[in-house]
């Protein structure tokens, strides 16, 4: 498997998690293994921030990463991330709005997933918020939210069932950074700030916008947006507001629906510190994308 050189500058690659989470149903196991190896090789050659895969591919990608760095010993080592509590397939947006299932995985299962990923060599975790659990907590918090001080908001968040769930993840992960995928398309706009506070009070590393796993017919009135500048700016503003209560800020990972280098730069300007995409080469080359995909 070759290590391909990036045809143009790699500046934006330095903040990209080169991501492989979906593939065609008829792909052979051998071809899928080769694709994961190529993703790792490309991430090293292009000097990406990280590679993000499903948990069952961590061990394979760890080996591929070690081998790639033997061939390019001066290249920086990308982070090796995997998703946790991630939907197995894409889901209709309308269905998830009415009855969310994203992140609806038994806590024991997701904790075991974290522990296995760590054993396999993962260095970062991208974990999906249990959306239904959070929305239940938010329904109880929302009526009083605006009247609470920042300290009061953080205390209230820490008492939620969602915080207890995330605390178990944090205990299992130890010092390994967790990026919390909050699926912003399923959140009331006013809950975005609260999710920033939740991420910070639970001592997680990063808040992340989307799984990229929501779908809708082109004619549907409601379309999932994924990463949008307004949401990133809202998150960045909330981090700044809560920061006096903490020693360090959290990161913001924009993912889902990034279609052009210009959009990627706008997301970074708005406050994103990491980008997640499977279209890394196109973004590096400055190509605009018209086809759907993560």
**Mean pLDDT of all residues in 165-184:** 98
* pLDDT above 80: residue 227: yes
The answer to whether residue 95 is domain-embedded is: yes
Q: For position 276, which CATH number holds?
A: 3.20.20.70
* pLDDT above 80: residue 5: no
Q: What is the pLDDT of residue 287?
A: 64
- pLDDT tens, position by position, 183-213: 999 999 899 999 999 999 999 999 999 999 9
* pLDDT above 70: residue 51: yes
Band the pLDDT of 286: cuts 50, 70, 90: confident
* pLDDT above 70: residue 164: yes
Q: Directed axis angle between helix 107-120 and helix 161-173, to 10°?
A: 20
**Mean pLDDT of all residues in 40-68:** 98
The answer to whether residue 44 is domain-embedded is: yes
* pLDDT above 50: residue 157: yes
**Mean pLDDT of all residues in 51-77:** 97
Task: Of 109-118, 122-131, 199-208, 280-289, give the lowest mean pLDDT range.
Answer: 280-289
The answer to whether residue 118 is domain-embedded is: yes
The answer to whether residue 290 is domain-embedded is: no
Band the pLDDT of 288: cuts 50, 70, 90: low
Band the pLDDT of 1: cuts 50, 70, 90: very low
Q: Which helix (H) or strand (E) holds 193?
A: helix 191-201
Band the pLDDT of 290: cuts 50, 70, 90: low
User: Alpha carbon of 69 to those of 1, 6, 63: distances in Å?
Assistant: 13, 16, 10
Determine the straight-line distance between the first and last CA of the chain, rounded to whole angstroms.
24
Q: What is the pLDDT of residue 7?
A: 35
Q: For residues 84 and 110, give the distance between their C-alpha atoms in angstroms, rounded to a whole number.
A: 6
The answer to whether residue 141 is domain-embedded is: yes
* Structure letter (DSSP) for residue 230: H
**Mean pLDDT of all residues in 1-22:** 70
Q: What is the mean pLDDT of the chain?
A: 93
Is the CB of residue 67 less than 8 Å from the CB of residue 194? Answer: no
Q: What is the pLDDT of residue 8?
A: 38
Strand partners, 180: 127, 207
* pLDDT above 70: residue 10: no
Q: What is the pLDDT of residue 117?
A: 98
- Judging by DSSP bridges, how do beta strands 274-277 and 16-20 pair with one another? parallel
Q: Which residues contact 219 (CB under 8 A, 6 or more apart)?
A: none
The answer to whether residue 38 is domain-embedded is: yes
The domain in which residue 192 lies consists of 12-285
User: Alpha carbon of 257 to those of 195, 206, 223, 253, 293: distances in Å?
Assistant: 21, 19, 11, 13, 7
* pLDDT above 80: residue 3: no
Gyration radius of the chain over CA positions: 19
**What is the tally of structural domains in the chain?**
1
Q: What is the pLDDT of residue 285?
A: 87
The answer to whether residue 7 is domain-embedded is: no
Is the CB of residue 43 less than 8 Å from the CB of residue 123? Answer: no
The answer to whether residue 294 is domain-embedded is: no
* pLDDT above 60: residue 2: no
Q: What is the pLDDT of residue 11?
A: 78
- pLDDT tens, position by position, 78-101: 999 999 999 999 999 999 999 999
Q: What is the pLDDT of residue 294?
A: 54
Catalytic residues: 126, 208, 253
198/7: higher pLDDT: 198
């Amino acid at each position: 498997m070759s290590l391909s050189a990036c045809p143009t500058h790699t500046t934006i690659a330095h903040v990209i998690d080169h991501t492989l989470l979906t593939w065609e149903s008829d792909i052979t196991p051998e071809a899928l293994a080769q694709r994961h190896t190529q993703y790792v090789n490309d991430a090293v050659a292009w000097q990406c921030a990280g590679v993000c895969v499903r948990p069952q591919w961590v061990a394979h990608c760890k080996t591929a990463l070690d081998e790639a760095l033997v061939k390019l010993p001066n290249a920086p080592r990308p982070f090796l991330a995997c998703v946790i509590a991630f939907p197995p397939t894409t889901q209709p947006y309308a269905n998830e709005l009415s009855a969310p299932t994203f992140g609806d995985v038994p806590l024991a299962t997701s904790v075991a997933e974290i522990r296995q990923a760590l054993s396999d060599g993962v260095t970062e975790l991208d974990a999906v918020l249990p959306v239904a659990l959070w929305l239940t907590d938010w329904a109880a918090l929302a009526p009083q939210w605006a009247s609470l001080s920042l300290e009061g908001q953080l205390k209230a968040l820490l008492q939620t069932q969602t915080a207890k769930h995330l605390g178990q993840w944090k205990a299992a992960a130890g010092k390994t950074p967790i990026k919390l995928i909050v699926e912003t398309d399923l959140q009331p706009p006013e809950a975005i700030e609260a999710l920033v506070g939740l991420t910070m009070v639970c001592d997680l590393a990063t808040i992340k916008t989307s799984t990229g796993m929501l779908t809708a017919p082109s004619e549907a009135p409601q379309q999932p947006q994924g990463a949008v500048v307004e949401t990133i700016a809202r998150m960045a503003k909330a981090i700044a507001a809560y920061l006096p209560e903490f020693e360090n800020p959290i990161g913001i990972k924009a993912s889902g629906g990034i279609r052009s280098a210009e959009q990627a730069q706008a997301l970074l300007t708005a406050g994103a510190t990491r980008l997640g995409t499977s279209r890394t080469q196109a973004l590096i080359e400055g190509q605009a994308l018209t086809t759907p995909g993560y």
